[in-house]
Chain A
Amino acid sequence: MTHNLGVDVGGTFTDVIVFDEDTNELTIDKVLSTPENPSNGVVEGIESAVAKAGTSVADLNLLFHGTTVVTNMLLEETGARVGLLTTAGHENVLHLARAWTPGPLYGWMGMEKPAPLADLVDTRGVGGRIGSPDGEETTPLDEEAVRTAVRELQDAGVESLTVALLNSYLNPAHERRVRDIVAEEAPDLPVSISAEIVPEYGEYERTLTTVINDYARPQVIRYLDDLESSLADAGSSATMNVVRSDGGLMSSKAATQRPVELALSGPSGGVVGAATIAQKKGIPDVLTLDMGGTSTDVSLVEAGKPGTTRQTKVGYREFKSRAVDVNTVGAGGGSIARVQLSGSLQVGPESAGADPGPACYGLGGEAPTVTDANVVLGRIPPSVQLGGRMELDREAARDAVQSIADDRGTSIEEAAQAILDIVNENMYSALRVVSVERGYDPREFGLVAFGGAGPMHANALVDVMDAYPLVVPPGPGVMSAFGFLTSDVQNEFSETYLRTDEDVSGDEVRDEFLSIRDEAADWLASEGVEESDHAFDYFADCRYYRQDIQMSIPVDVENLRDDGGLAEIKDDFEARHDRQFGFSLDAPLEIANLRVVGKGAIQGVELEEQELGDADASEAITGHYDVYFDGEYHETPIYDRSLSTPGNEISGPAIVVDADSTVVVQPDHVARVDRYGSLEITRGESQ
């Protein structure tokens, strides 16, 4: 029992990392995913990776599993048939949504609004009312109507059931009673109640989030059951941890209860891994850039901690679930460039995907993509096989990019450079949303770049943003799987509070926090975390009375005692409000929600530190190639990253070829291999 394993199931590839606890060695493997039967691909990937690492499935200690199963289910609408019970008179809550249509004027003419995930056919209203804001029952629950509805829905063939009643965030008594009735009438039907999934006001978002939970549940239950039994058959007795959207872990049992928490499971791993690596290097504040084939995820890490958000969006649907605050933009290697009617050049969000993919894949794609532009400029030298398998069709790439050059009346190199400049700009905009817009100056941050395409673009990007150093971790193509290994068991517990500093004292707020902490402690215990390993973070979501801001203020509960009161919270809130928006108000502080994040540390991986050696990296040079930088071709050395050693310095321009990604070092920059095998790129020249 000496190996831990991280596995990241994506739409195309399943990435696996094996960590040997005795030697601190990491083994990376990549196999094709099997979307038609996801657990098969995972088991094959695990078996292949442990074989490569020279161990066996039976030798695995901890398993860390991230998956896009839920994300894909939402995007492709392949989840379960969900029944929905609402308060009578509010059955159309999902159908009417929030009336939103996109901008600008006339945006409604082209709007596509998918049907609710719980069909109106399977939605029933039931009598009974909880009053607001006191949370007292004003009309008793119509239990007969509930029984009838449950029976009807079960007969109709629903596979799971959501209960979402008005004002349940104030008092969940009716929802709980409905759940008891469902247990009597339809004991095998999975059921979720909204007050437990999102105990916050806002009936549309709470209902939607809970419906998503039930939409995903039957498949997630089946999937995790299959996976665990397949692994058991293969001889494994490893503990399975499933990665949540907020980068924390939960048991597979907890995952089957709350699959909505897995909606952004994949992207969170990369951010957590990047944060760990940067922290270890002594750069606690970094931006992260994860650029793949169709999109780029960016986020901000402050003091080693990834930012989190409560607003999660998958396709049209915006719901409430705690997630790493990742901003996604449709900019990837497969993003298609086209010239608009007005003459402006647009890159993405449309993507050539994996099939046919960029023109240079030679699979019949003709549209010019970002990858084709990189090929034209020589940034992907002939020695590279994209996706590890195909020879590049450089002629096809040139033909595709030539069409843009013709439209714009420029040389092919200028057209290719324009495509890169625009796609970089799109990523820059996304990075600004998570930094500048939130009051952070990117110049005070470093940038960690990963994903298949991230290291190719990041140097040009940091040059514009001045966010140095740029760090390219080892294995940038499997960063998420690596990140899983660095995660902790984690879950968040919250309640709507809606009280102002004029209504309550610090002691009262502290008591409330402690009662939520008890709930979190119970959960950690049920996840098998020893009490001595429990840790808790407290947050108050604050705003000026009636604002919609909900700034999450970290709270030291001990300072709420006695005279301390709420002053510390208010001061912190006002400072943040002023930094971000440039003004403060003479208004009461409203605490909208109290949150407690309960954590239990798990040791999944140890980063090994190596001695720094010689700066001379010439041993790693495998050849030279003409690469286009700053308006002209440069004879540029090509390095093999696997031949480089800690301490090596590589002066730009240079191309560093890795197994799963290519690193571009711009002119006037230098890349150093650090003690952990990361490339650290800064402006300047080698010593």
Chain B
Amino acid sequence: MSNETPEFVGDHDVDPTTLDIIESTLENTRFEMDRVLETTAISPVIREQSDQFPLIADRHGRMVMGQFGSAIDTIIEHSPFDWDDLEEGDVIATNDPYSCAGAVSHTPDMLLLRPIFYDGDRVGFGSQWGNLMDVGGKTPGSMPVQATTVFEEGIRLPPVKLYKAGELDEELLATFAHNTRLPEHAEADIKALAAGTAVAEERVRELCDRFGKDTYLEGCDAILDRTRDGMIDLINEFIPEGERYTFEDYVDDDGMGNGPIKLHLEIYREGDTVYLDWTGTDQQVPGTVNFLLNEKMFKMFTGVFLIMAFDPLLTFNDGYYDLFEVTLPEGTVVQPEYPAALGNRLPMMARQFDVLQATFSKLIDQFSVAGSYGTSPNLVYAGVDSEGNQFQMLEILYGGIPARPGGDGLDGHSWWPLFRTVPAEYQEAYYPLSIDEYSTRADTGGPGEFRGGHGITKVFTFEEDGAITFQDDRAHTYPWGVDGGSHGERSEKKLIRTDGTEEALPSKVENEPVSAGDKLVFRTAGGGGLGDPLDRDPAVVATEVRRGLVSEAAARERYGVVLDDGSVDVGATADERETLRDAREDLSEFDYGPLPDDETLAEEIAAERRTFDMR
């Protein structure tokens, strides 16, 4: 079974240079949309952490340029209006994952969609979504850990026209904002998103002015088509036909004592079509880590991986969707059924990426990437300060980037593109806390010829009573190493109360009360290593020891590098490496770390939660 060949495939009557110009203008527009949003938004998650995604689609709703693939047809399908009901100046808004097949995958993500008209005809769409600070629900930030339905995760707008023919529906916006904890933020950020989509409208219209509407529309088809051609070449060149490859990995738990949660992926190719099958993945879980994976978005992820690995200059868009055939079994953690809770889908999303890159590592000769720090950890600290003012901080944290072909993983960086840390000085100026430490966790990145990136330690001292909610993962399982590289180390959390007592916390915690003076120690996981650590350049190991990134003990025990007053002792290193080589077992393709069997692990996870809940 294969998809139908899309109608844009074929000859295009558009001058190739004009086509290149249309393509590069759309690409620039995409970045301009981001810049407008980042500068005008108020939410620090958008402005400092760039948690936003712009796209420009053709008149049929197919993404021509952007980041995440388009679900415009699904959104229209779930709305009370039809394609023909769209008017110039309309802007559709939705933050309901179930109304767009997961195109936004949790309620704080607000998606705005603006049809673009020229001379009365629809010529495309501009769309942008971003993570709002709060949309109501059970916990500040609207990402509860312990919820079992989406109703606990805040107000949901089904696809509705927020602007009708250019007129903002103030009452609708006020109603939505009223249901959030930070109404001014919500209102400002939604307007900023709308301003971002207006950029797309303006630029697409200018292209129609410049080249004519018909040429522009033909150009969109041609851009989709040539990306598809490029993808066919990549698939045929790099994905072997015939064999089936599978990989399995786990998300720790759902924050309610259920885990480990298995993801299972099988990939194979027949002709130009690549089959990706998630059958064998665990059923959905009670907690909030379910990930409503949009099928098209997953095709996008798959294509982007191939493009970034082998031809980073190829534009990616919806043109190659028919080349990927995806199976997402209903009722699994990657296709949960309404009204499952979705708020903390990030561990599942990150693991889905880990599994995809691991399966490709098996599939593709000479190309491997290790496992990541496992999620985009986030932390919310909220309360009412001594002067009676509400405060609510939301922060995304980072960990070890996996070792990659030809290079080490980066320490404490973001696997998600374009995110940035919030400056400690910003946090200290606007929220009642201080940042005592922000440092690299030495030795947490998996050793390898290329080592995994290290996790980070961030220590917060809270200055007002309040409550914290956070989400992390890889506290029970390990980021795997590949091709002889070792696994990375796990994440850890603890609270140090004012009286000095220390409490270890699970990786997912909801509304944990904290008092002024309490400290939170937030440690994220490292990334896995790649290749045999005994093949790593000893001079690099020595430099990293001097920089405090690798301990002298690890240099000796893991890398076989013996130092003499900071420099490599060449003879002793050769001896040590030989000894280690002789003593060890054959290196495996994947190193999952010292995991117990599934049952024991499940019991450990359940016991941890029981103990924590019963404190």
Instruction: Specify whether A and B are partners.
Output: yes
Given contacts A133-B429, A418-B16, contact A101 B188 (CB under 8 A): no
CA distance A585 to B190 in the complex (A): 11
Q: How far is the CB of B535 from chain A (nearest CB, A)?
A: 21
**CB-defined interface of A525-550 with B at 8 Å, one 1/0 digit per residue?**
00000000000000000001111110
Say if the beta carbon of A107 comes within 8 Å of chain B: yes
**CB-defined interface of B16-31 with A at 8 Å, one 1/0 digit per residue?**
1101110111001000
Q: Quick check: B226 and A544 within 8 Å, CB to CB?
A: no
The residue in chain B whose Cβ has the minimal distance to the Cβ of A420 is B17
CA distance A678 to B103 in the complex (A): 56
- With a cutoff of 8 Å between Cβ atoms, the chain A residues found around residue B428 in the complex are 131-133, 166-167
Say if the beta carbon of A110 comes within 8 Å of chain B: yes
Q: Quick check: B24 and A581 within 8 Å, CB to CB?
A: no
Say if the beta carbon of B271 comes within 8 Å of chain A: no
Say if the beta carbon of B198 comes within 8 Å of chain A: yes
Q: Which of A99, A111, A418, A581 gathers most chain B CB within 10 Å?
A: A99
Q: Which of B167-207 contact A (CB under 8 A)?
A: 184, 187-188, 191-192, 194-195, 198
- With a cutoff of 8 Å between Cβ atoms, the chain A residues found around residue B439 in the complex are 89-92, 96
The 8 Å CB contact of A98, one of B36, B353, B416, B420, is B420
Q: Which of A200-208, A232-240, A244-252 contacts B (4 or more CB under 8 A)?
A: A200-208
Say if the beta carbon of A316 comes within 8 Å of chain B: no
CA distance A92 to B412 in the complex (A): 10
Given contacts A437-B32, A547-B39, contact A96 B411 (CB under 8 A): yes
Interface size on A, residues (CB 8 A): 71
Given contacts A90-B438, A109-B369, A429-B25, contact A345 B420 (CB under 8 A): no
- With a cutoff of 8 Å between Cβ atoms, the chain A residues found around residue B423 in the complex are 98, 201-204
Say if the beta carbon of B250 comes within 8 Å of chain A: no
Q: Which of A511-567 contact B (CB under 8 A)?
A: 544-549
Q: Quick check: B429 and A92 within 8 Å, CB to CB?
A: no
Q: Quick check: A544 and B188 within 8 Å, CB to CB?
A: yes
Say if the beta carbon of B331 comes within 8 Å of chain A: no
The residue in chain A whose Cβ has the minimal distance to the Cβ of B543 is A121
Say if the beta carbon of A425 comes within 8 Å of chain B: yes
CA distance A111 to B20 in the complex (A): 26
**CB-defined interface of A105-126 with B at 8 Å, one 1/0 digit per residue?**
1111111110000011100000
Q: Quick check: B415 and A101 within 8 Å, CB to CB?
A: yes
Say if the beta carbon of A426 comes within 8 Å of chain B: yes
The 8 Å CB contact of A95, one of B42, B315, B411, B429, is B411
Q: How far is the CB of B444 from chain A (nearest CB, A)?
A: 13
**CB-defined interface of A286-326 with B at 8 Å, one 1/0 digit per residue?**
00000000000000000000000000000000000000000
CA distance A98 to B418 in the complex (A): 10
- With a cutoff of 8 Å between Cβ atoms, the chain A residues found around residue B21 in the complex are 421-422, 425
Interface size on B, residues (CB 8 A): 86
Q: Quick check: A343 and B16 within 8 Å, CB to CB?
A: yes
- With a cutoff of 8 Å between Cβ atoms, the chain B residues found around residue A433 in the complex are 28, 32
Say if the beta carbon of A102 comes within 8 Å of chain B: yes
The residue in chain A whose Cβ has the minimal distance to the Cβ of B418 is A103
CA distance A284 to B612 in the complex (A): 69
- With a cutoff of 8 Å between Cβ atoms, the chain A residues found around residue B424 in the complex are 90, 166, 203
Q: Quick check: B420 and A99 within 8 Å, CB to CB?
A: yes
CA distance A166 to B437 in the complex (A): 11
Q: Quick check: B36 and A106 within 8 Å, CB to CB?
A: no
Say if the beta carbon of B459 comes within 8 Å of chain A: yes
The residue in chain B whose Cβ has the minimal distance to the Cβ of A344 is B20
Q: Which of B144-177 contact A (CB under 8 A)?
A: none
The 8 Å CB contact of A121, one of B188, B436, B440, B546, is B546
Q: Which of B358-409 contact A (CB under 8 A)?
A: 369, 398, 401, 404-405, 407
Given contacts A341-B311, A425-B21, contact A201 B426 (CB under 8 A): yes
Q: How far is the CB of B586 from chain A (nearest CB, A)?
A: 28
The residue in chain A whose Cβ has the minimal distance to the Cβ of B23 is A344
CA distance A646 to B412 in the complex (A): 62
Q: Quick check: B429 and A544 within 8 Å, CB to CB?
A: no
Q: Which of A199-218 contact B (CB under 8 A)?
A: 201-204
Say if the beta carbon of A158 comes within 8 Å of chain B: no
CA distance A201 to B422 in the complex (A): 11
Q: Which of B78-86, B300-308, B499-507, B556-564 contacts A (4 or more CB under 8 A)?
A: B300-308
- With a cutoff of 8 Å between Cβ atoms, the chain A residues found around residue B17 in the complex are 345, 417-418, 421-422
Q: Quick check: B38 and A100 within 8 Å, CB to CB?
A: no
- With a cutoff of 8 Å between Cβ atoms, the chain A residues found around residue B517 in the complex are none
Given contacts A89-B459, A437-B35, A548-B47, contact A587 B417 (CB under 8 A): no
Say if the beta carbon of A140 comes within 8 Å of chain B: no
Q: What is the interface of chain A mostly: helix, strand, loop, or mixed? A: loop
Say if the beta carbon of B48 comes within 8 Å of chain A: yes
Q: Quick check: A425 and B24 within 8 Å, CB to CB?
A: yes
Q: Quick check: A432 and B28 within 8 Å, CB to CB?
A: yes
Q: Quick check: A105 and B308 within 8 Å, CB to CB?
A: yes
Q: Quick check: B426 and A104 within 8 Å, CB to CB?
A: no
Q: How far is the CB of A362 from chain B (nearest CB, A)?
A: 28
Q: Quick check: B67 and A548 within 8 Å, CB to CB?
A: no
- With a cutoff of 8 Å between Cβ atoms, the chain B residues found around residue A342 in the complex are 226-227, 229-230, 314-315
Say if the beta carbon of A582 comes within 8 Å of chain B: yes
Q: Quick check: B419 and A99 within 8 Å, CB to CB?
A: yes
Say if the beta carbon of B312 comes within 8 Å of chain A: yes
Q: Quick check: A106 and B313 within 8 Å, CB to CB?
A: no
Q: Quick check: B418 and A101 within 8 Å, CB to CB?
A: yes
Q: Which of B312-326 contact A (CB under 8 A)?
A: 312-316
The residue in chain B whose Cβ has the minimal distance to the Cβ of A169 is B425
CA distance A267 to B312 in the complex (A): 31
Say if the beta carbon of B603 comes within 8 Å of chain A: no
Q: Quick check: A92 and B419 within 8 Å, CB to CB?
A: no
Say if the beta carbon of A340 comes within 8 Å of chain B: yes
Say if the beta carbon of A56 comes within 8 Å of chain B: no
Q: How far is the CB of B427 from chain A (nearest CB, A)?
A: 9
**CB-defined interface of B213-247 with A at 8 Å, one 1/0 digit per residue?**
00000000000001101100110000000000000
The residue in chain A whose Cβ has the minimal distance to the Cβ of B233 is A341
Q: How far is the CB of A137 from chain B (nearest CB, A)?
A: 13
Q: How far is the CB of A419 from chain B (nearest CB, A)?
A: 9
Q: Which of A42-62 contact B (CB under 8 A)?
A: none
Q: How far is the CB of B564 from chain A (nearest CB, A)?
A: 17
- With a cutoff of 8 Å between Cβ atoms, the chain A residues found around residue B187 in the complex are 585
Say if the beta carbon of B41 comes within 8 Å of chain A: yes
CA distance A417 to B411 in the complex (A): 46
Say if the beta carbon of A354 comes within 8 Å of chain B: no
Q: How far is the CB of B451 from chain A (nearest CB, A)?
A: 14
Q: Quick check: B413 and A108 within 8 Å, CB to CB?
A: yes
Q: Quick check: A201 and B425 within 8 Å, CB to CB?
A: yes
Q: Quick check: A89 and B438 within 8 Å, CB to CB?
A: yes
CA distance A583 to B162 in the complex (A): 15
Q: Which of B413, B414, B425, B428 gathers most chain A CB within 10 Å?
A: B425
Say if the beta carbon of B549 comes within 8 Å of chain A: yes
The residue in chain B whose Cβ has the minimal distance to the Cβ of A424 is B21
- With a cutoff of 8 Å between Cβ atoms, the chain A residues found around residue B230 in the complex are 340-342
The residue in chain B whose Cβ has the minimal distance to the Cβ of A421 is B17
- With a cutoff of 8 Å between Cβ atoms, the chain A residues found around residue B584 in the complex are none
The residue in chain B whose Cβ has the minimal distance to the Cβ of A419 is B17
Q: Quick check: A119 and B547 within 8 Å, CB to CB?
A: yes
Q: How far is the CB of B447 from chain A (nearest CB, A)?
A: 19
- With a cutoff of 8 Å between Cβ atoms, the chain A residues found around residue B194 in the complex are 583
Q: Quick check: B226 and A344 within 8 Å, CB to CB?
A: yes
Q: How far is the CB of A172 from chain B (nearest CB, A)?
A: 14
Given contacts A104-B67, A345-B16, A432-B28, contact A109 B309 (CB under 8 A): yes
CA distance A131 to B192 in the complex (A): 33
Given contacts A92-B438, A101-B417, A108-B401, contact A587 B188 (CB under 8 A): yes
- With a cutoff of 8 Å between Cβ atoms, the chain A residues found around residue B267 in the complex are none
CA distance A107 to B417 in the complex (A): 6
Q: List the 7 shortest-distance A-B pairs measured between CB atoms, nearest first.
A: A89-B437, A132-B428, A106-B308, A103-B417, A120-B547, A342-B230, A548-B47
Other 4 A-B pairs with CB < 8 A, given A99-B413, A545-B42: A101-B418, A108-B413, A109-B308, A201-B423
| 9 residue pairs bridging A and B, Cβ less than 8 Å apart | A89-B435, A89-B437, A99-B413, A105-B308, A108-B401, A498-B429, A548-B39, A577-B40, A583-B191
